[in-house]
């Protein structure tokens, strides 16, 4: 019998990639697709977003309005730390953070990159929302390779002139 893990909180990696899993170049996103940025905004609005320092620094305001912003850092004690100088909350310890969000009754958290943060949360993720860009872009940072024994395509893909949006769910997990 298949072991089925019941989840009470969706942990979603939301990412835009090239056809070879590239996600960035020189600390920026190498494409400019307003329609995909709107999809990202629509999906994440009102939900907690988790990012690394490079991703935070690449944002025009250094945070995303309308969402609780969490930044993964390594140079603080394990915990969840709020400061008055920025709208971001700093976190160290993936399991600690996930447990505290689950205890707060948070229905979904969105992991928005970059590569290191995706790798940290990948073992805990229950869903991936992936925009696959058409065209060739030079990248020096990549999204982790998906193990297709662990992940399956869910709900088909939505095709656009710039690429497609695919949703993956972790096998053996029920919402």
Q: Is the dihedral of CA 45, 143, 159, 32 positive or negative?
A: positive
Nearest to 174, CA basis, from 13, 15, 48, 10? 10
Per residue in 129-160, pLDDT (tens digit) is 999 999 999 999 999 999 989 999 998 899 99
| Cα Dmax for the chain | 52
Q: Among all chains, which residue has been given the structure tokens 């073992």?
A: 123
Q: Is 6 helix (H, G, I), strand (E, B) or coil?
A: strand
pLDDT over 80 (residue 21): yes
Per residue in 34-89, pLDDT (tens digit) is 999 999 999 999 999 999 999 999 999 999 999 999 999 887 666 677 776 778 99
Q: What is the DSSP letter of 124?
A: G
What is the pTM for the complete model shown? Answer: 0.91
């Amino acid at each position: 019998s298949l072991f089925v893990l019941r989840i009470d909180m969706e942990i979603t990696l939301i990412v835009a990639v090239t056809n070879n899993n590239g996600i960035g170049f020189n600390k920026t996103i190498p494409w400019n697709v307003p329609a995909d940025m709107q999809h990202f905004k629509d999906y994440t609005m009102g939900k907690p977003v988790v990012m690394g320092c490079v991703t935070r620094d690449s944002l025009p305001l250094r945070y995303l309005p309308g969402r609780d912003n969490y930044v993964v850092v390594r140079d603080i004690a394990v915990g969840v730390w709020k400061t008055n100088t920025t709208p971001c909350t700093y976190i160290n310890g993936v399991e600690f953070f996930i447990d505290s969000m689950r205890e707060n009754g948070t229905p979904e958290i969105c992991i928005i990159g970059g590569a290191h943060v995706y790798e940290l949360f990948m073992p805990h993720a229950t869903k991936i929302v992936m925009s696959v860009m058409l065209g060739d872009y030079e990248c020096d940072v990549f999204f982790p390779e998906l193990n297709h024994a662990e992940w399956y395509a869910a709900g088909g893909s939505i095709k656009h002139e710039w690429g497609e949006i695919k949703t993956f769910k972790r096998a053996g997990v029920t919402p």
